Amino acid sequence: MLKKKIYQFININSSFQKLIYTLIILNVISLILASYKEIYIKYELFFDYFEIFSVSVFTIEYILRFWTADLDYENGTSFSKRLKFSTSSFGLIDLFAILPFYLPLIFPFDLRILRILRLFRLLRIFKLGRLSKSLQTITSVLKETKSELSITLFVAFILMILSSTLMFFVENEAQPDKFENIGQSLWWSVATLTTVGYGDIYPITGLGKFLSSIIALIGIGFVALPTGIISSAFIKKMQQEKEQNKEHICPNCGTKF
Amino acid sequence: MLKKKIYQFININSSFQKLIYTLIILNVISLILASYKEIYIKYELFFDYFEIFSVSVFTIEYILRFWTADLDYENGTSFSKRLKFSTSSFGLIDLFAILPFYLPLIFPFDLRILRILRLFRLLRIFKLGRLSKSLQTITSVLKETKSELSITLFVAFILMILSSTLMFFVENEAQPDKFENIGQSLWWSVATLTTVGYGDIYPITGLGKFLSSIIALIGIGFVALPTGIISSAFIKKMQQEKEQNKEHICPNCGTKF
Amino acid sequence: MLKKKIYQFININSSFQKLIYTLIILNVISLILASYKEIYIKYELFFDYFEIFSVSVFTIEYILRFWTADLDYENGTSFSKRLKFSTSSFGLIDLFAILPFYLPLIFPFDLRILRILRLFRLLRIFKLGRLSKSLQTITSVLKETKSELSITLFVAFILMILSSTLMFFVENEAQPDKFENIGQSLWWSVATLTTVGYGDIYPITGLGKFLSSIIALIGIGFVALPTGIISSAFIKKMQQEKEQNKEHICPNCGTKF
Amino acid sequence: MLKKKIYQFININSSFQKLIYTLIILNVISLILASYKEIYIKYELFFDYFEIFSVSVFTIEYILRFWTADLDYENGTSFSKRLKFSTSSFGLIDLFAILPFYLPLIFPFDLRILRILRLFRLLRIFKLGRLSKSLQTITSVLKETKSELSITLFVAFILMILSSTLMFFVENEAQPDKFENIGQSLWWSVATLTTVGYGDIYPITGLGKFLSSIIALIGIGFVALPTGIISSAFIKKMQQEKEQNKEHICPNCGTKF
């Protein structure tokens, strides 16, 4: 039962998992460091070797997971089980993490940008048991508020289109280089409604400033609305949990009510 | 019963509605693209033809809706029903969407800016059934908190007048070109209280920075207040819904009600 | 009973109140317009006359209110009632609104900046009945959360002192003109923690950016905390009101429970 | 019983405590003032004397507290009690506040930066009874939401790594001096997600602005999530307190419990 042993090794053995997690984090650090030109030039060889090493480990892991995938699911043929693994979100992440390394061997493109896909392996950390309960609360809250949040986002989107078109017509003449087109104007409206306000683009005419003030004030409501929606969902969650735990028993007569 | 068939065609037939929605979205995209000078010059003719085509479709739709409006409402004379449609918010939006095209034929003004009115047709998307429930929740929440939110806005307005007048007297001497008048100062106070902070105008004197710090800190409360109000209204809503679903049982006689 | 008639005239007659409110708003507008140099020079005489007129009306109103103050309160001697009025918040606001006009007649100082005090008359609008209920809700919420909010403000203050001292030591060498002293550094920390971010001062060293990132992230919690406190107070308020209205009566047997 | 008298003097006597608090605040003010070069040069001697005076008082206080520590705890030997005091958070703060003054006498380093540690003495203000209840509410709320907040922070961290890597690849070519490496890119992502937006670094390419818009919108959710979590925890707290005050009555037998 080599397969079963390997399956347990890669799934239960914590030192193997620690190795993988360490390698993921080292990959993130290496990606960041390699973006510093002076460091990259100095240690180019090291980065290349580390790249080959990481991809090798991840490839071996992927192959082993693919091979032992039929122990992971209960029903289905061995082929359908492997297909299930390949198309599961973690299976796809694992594949995308190694694919960019092999593609250039076939296609003569510069796909170094795809190395960014390896970052998604960070998401694997959510598999850790300790984190999963809090994460579940958060995701269930987000799921429950999905329709309200999408409406808010949609209203925000319409607001952005409207306000940026308006500002384009108002400011274009005074700042033809800044409010050059509605695209630039949209960039301004995002920066304003999210209250980021980089300061690279802002109205200078009186009317523009007046309209922009109104839009910025609406921006606060735009922040308040999702916050209110999410807050109420968290409170609902909390009350549901409390209600499930509650069962009133009279300490005198023992009646449940 | 041609009228009834047409009424059903424009109101129930989903492929006709899809066409209208598609045309609205294409109009938005065309408005955005036409704001890019290089694109507009290259495809000027195309934009003009698309303009004529859209307005024709919207005009025909408006005429049909106006004609069949008497099937839309139950009571009243055929004239009062049509008046009702014309003055309903969607009726007005539909009219304003096509009017700017016809006005220049009568008045010799450049009313291209009014094409922006066509954007309001985007609001029609809220007629879609799926969206309406979530939107109802949000609008009912906003309605319920209207008086609290207006008070907050009003207090914010007084705060802005006060702080910008103050800052004008404090900063005017040091930066006569930036804090030129209270109008400019108001622009600064909006940018600060909404925490947008473009960075085109800010205090440079010690006293100005001190006052500005206090105003910025109040700005946080200014964000917190509407968020709190909206949150509590969402929670109230949520609890009302729960209560309506709950069965009341009298502990005395056991009657459900 | 001339006094009683005058008392009713200034307190109940709505056209007199409308005049006063209009005059207050016109004063605000005049203050804003007079800050535009080109407008002020052109209409200097008009502004002066309007000033004299407004102060005259406000002075007469103050004298009448002072004179009829003994009808406003139930207990006390006529002197103690007038003292009560003079030291009440609205009595003081009314006095401060006219005082800056008379002071220069006695003291030879330029007190034009004190005209800002007249802005506080805007607060009188809160006397209006319609506004008072919502305002009461908000002020009672703010009162109830006073101790939590002050703690938050105090923690924020300590955080600001700590972070600005830290940033001063870290950035002073690299930007001796920006992070010149801890005062400048404090200005930076306010702009960062309130997420205003004007962009006139920011770290440029690696360590400075790292520390600043952490401080900015804490800044979000700094916004979340008062929002959470205020939200919970609004909800408490709302539930109290609901509970007071509630009285469960069984529709079958009439038992209250 | 000199020791007992001293213990009561430093712990209960309010005028001694007032002296210490005043000295702490004067130290903070002195640290801020000394950062102004022109002030420091003028009053260097004064600052030095005040430094020696403060450290002397703090040292004497520390020695007395250390000596009387055995009266502070009930159990343990006199040595273990003193160790307990030395390793308690307030004991450590008090030690760190004076240590930087004595270290240079032994080690020849410039440790003036460590004077910042004295700022932590400000935290002692939380010992004051009046403040402690509100602070307890806030800290208990933060403790209860620790796991949700850390998840949010962790997700935010992953988001930052992902978005800054993405933006580095997108913007690096157009602005090699701004988006120089992923470190700079991370600085941008912090400024954007926290909505601070200093404006020292922002995307200029179309794709960069598009991605940045999405990231900024997510940033709002990133603010909404902790706010929602903290709000719900405050409400839970509030309801628990209410429930503890409430009398339960069994509807069957009428017993209060």
Give CA–CA dist D234/D140, Å, rounded. 9
b (16+ CB within 10 A) / e for B107-132: eeeeeeebbbbbbbbbebebeeeeee
Question: Do C187 and B209 lie within an 8 Å CB cutoff?
Answer: yes
pLDDT band at A146 (very low <50, low <70, confident <90, very high): confident
Nearest to A194 among D209, D219, D248 (CB): D219
Least confident of A18-22, A109-113, A174-178, B113-117: A109-113
Average pLDDT over residues B68-78: 79
Question: Chain D interface, mutation test: which of C225, C238, C239, most D Cβ atoms within 10 Å?
Answer: C225
| Residue in chain B lying closest to C250 (CA) | B250
Give CA–CA dist B185/B172, Å, rounded. 9
CA D145, C222, A187: angle at the middle one, nearest 5? 110
**3-state class (DSSP) for residue C136:** helix
pLDDT band at A149 (very low <50, low <70, confident <90, very high): confident
Other CB atoms within a 10 A radius of the CB of residue D245 amount to: 7
Nearest to B148 among C28, C137, C190 (CB): C137
| Residue in chain A lying closest to D190 (CA) | A196
**Chain B from 159 to 178: CB within 8 A of any C CB:** 161-162, 165-166, 168-169, 172
Token pair 């506004």 is found at: C131
pLDDT for res D34 = 87
Taking the Cβ of residue C206 and every Cβ of chain A, the question of whether any pair is shorter than 8 Å is answered with: no
At B217-230, the pLDDT tens digits run: 887 777 788 888 88
| Residue in chain D lying closest to B195 (CA) | D196
Q: How far is C81 from chain D (nearest CA, A)?
A: 36
**Chain B from 94 to 113: CB within 8 A of any A CB:** 113
Largest separation between any pair of C-alpha atoms in chain B: 82
Question: Do A113 and D220 lie within an 8 Å CB cutoff?
Answer: no
pLDDT for res A65 = 87
Question: Do C116 and B232 lie within an 8 Å CB cutoff?
Answer: no
pLDDT for res C157 = 86
Largest separation between any pair of C-alpha atoms in chain A: 82
Q: Which residues of A touch C227 (CB under 8 A)?
A: 227
Q: Are A141 and A237 in contact (CB under 8 A)?
A: yes
| Residue in chain A lying closest to B222 (CA) | A220
Other CB atoms within a 10 A radius of the CB of residue D92 amount to: 14
User: Which pair of structure tokens corresponds to residue B248?
Assistant: 């009341």
pLDDT for res D115 = 66
Q: How far is B224 from chain D (nearest CA, A)?
A: 10
pLDDT band at B7 (very low <50, low <70, confident <90, very high): confident
Q: Which residues of A touch D216 (CB under 8 A)?
A: 190-191, 194, 196
Q: Which residues pair with D256 in a beta bridge?
A: D249
Q: How far is C8 from chain A (nearest CA, A)?
A: 40
User: Which pair of structure tokens corresponds to residue C52?
Assistant: 């004299």
User: Which pair of structure tokens corresponds to residue A21?
Assistant: 């997690």
Other CB atoms within a 10 A radius of the CB of residue D45 amount to: 8
What proportions of chain D, in percent to the nearest 5, are helix, strand and coil?
A: 80, 0, 20
Average pLDDT over residues A102-114: 70
Instruction: Look up the ipTM and state it.
Output: 0.84
Torsion of CA C4, C7, C12, C18, to 10 degrees: 140
Number of H helices, E strands in chain B: 10, 0
Instruction: State the DSSP H helix or E strand holding residue C79, giving kind and residue range, or none if neither.
Output: helix C78-87
At B84-110, the pLDDT tens digits run: 888 887 788 888 888 877 877 777 666
At D11-37, the pLDDT tens digits run: 877 788 888 888 888 888 888 898 898
Give CA–CA dist A11/A5, Å, rounded. 10
Q: Are C215 and B214 in contact (CB under 8 A)?
A: no
pLDDT for res A204 = 93
Least confident of C65-69, D57-61, D87-91: D87-91
pLDDT band at D111 (very low <50, low <70, confident <90, very high): low
State phi, psi for C256 to the nearest 5 degrees.
-85, 140
Least confident of B200-214, B241-255, D9-23: B241-255
Taking the Cβ of residue C93 and every Cβ of chain B, the question of whether any pair is shorter than 8 Å is answered with: no
Give CA–CA dist B48/A92, Å, rounded. 47
Q: How far is B235 from chain A (nearest CA, A)?
A: 5
State percent of chain D over pLDDT 90: 22
Taking the Cβ of residue C155 and every Cβ of chain B, the question of whether any pair is shorter than 8 Å is answered with: no
Give CA–CA dist B104/B100, Å, rounded. 7
Taking the Cβ of residue A135 and every Cβ of chain D, the question of whether any pair is shorter than 8 Å is answered with: yes
pLDDT for res D113 = 66
Instruction: State the DSSP H helix or E strand holding residue D91, giving kind and residue range, or none if neither.
Output: helix D89-106
At C198-237, the pLDDT tens digits run: 999 999 999 999 999 999 888 777 778 888 888 888 888 8
Name which of A232, C248, A81 is nearest B251 in CA terms.
Answer: C248
pLDDT for res B136 = 80
Give CA–CA dist C202/D200, Å, rounded. 8
Question: Do C195 and A195 lie within an 8 Å CB cutoff?
Answer: yes
Average pLDDT over residues C144-159: 84
State phi, psi for D104 to the nearest 5 degrees.
-60, -20
Least confident of A157-171, B190-204, D111-125: D111-125
Q: Taking CB atoms and an 8 Å cut-off, how many pairs form between chains A and B? A: 125
Q: Taking CB atoms and an 8 Å cut-off, how many pairs form between chains A and D? A: 145
Question: Do C257 and B251 lie within an 8 Å CB cutoff?
Answer: yes
Question: Do B122 and A158 lie within an 8 Å CB cutoff?
Answer: yes
Name which of C58, C13, C54, C15 is nearest C31 in CA terms.
Answer: C54
Taking the Cβ of residue B254 and every Cβ of chain D, the question of whether any pair is shorter than 8 Å is answered with: no
Q: Which residues of C touch D36 (CB under 8 A)?
A: 180-183
pLDDT for res B253 = 62
Between C124 and D136, the more confident residue is D136
Question: Do C183 and D137 lie within an 8 Å CB cutoff?
Answer: no
Give CA–CA dist C189/C193, Å, rounded. 6
**3-state class (DSSP) for residue C203:** coil
State phi, psi for C36 to the nearest 5 degrees.
-85, 110
Q: Walk me through the domains of chain C, giving residue ranges and CATH numbers.
A: 2-127 (1.20.120.350), 143-241 (1.10.287.70)
pLDDT for res C71 = 80
CA atoms within 13 A on the CB side of A33: 17
Give CA–CA dist B192/B199, Å, rounded. 10
pLDDT for res B240 = 79
Nearest to D230 among C147, C212, C225 (CB): C225
pLDDT band at A255 (very low <50, low <70, confident <90, very high): low
Residues 6+ apart with CB under 8 A from B189: B159, B160, B163, B164, B167, B215
Q: Which residues pair with A256 in a beta bridge?
A: A249
One-letter amino acid for residue C17 of the chain: Q
One-letter amino acid for residue A101 of the chain: F
Task: Please measure the distance between the N-terminal and C-terminal CA atoms of chain D and give it in whole angstroms.
Answer: 49
Between C222 and A46, the more confident residue is A46
pLDDT for res D174 = 92
Taking the Cβ of residue B45 and every Cβ of chain A, the question of whether any pair is shorter than 8 Å is answered with: no
Name which of C253, C248, C257 is nearest B255 in CA terms.
Answer: C253
Taking the Cβ of residue C123 and every Cβ of chain B, the question of whether any pair is shorter than 8 Å is answered with: yes
Q: Which residues of A touch C226 (CB under 8 A)?
A: none
Which subunits sit against D, judged by 3+ Cβ pairs under 8 A? A, B, C
Residues 6+ apart with CB under 8 A from B195: A195, A197, B216, B219, B220, B223, C194, C195, C196, D195
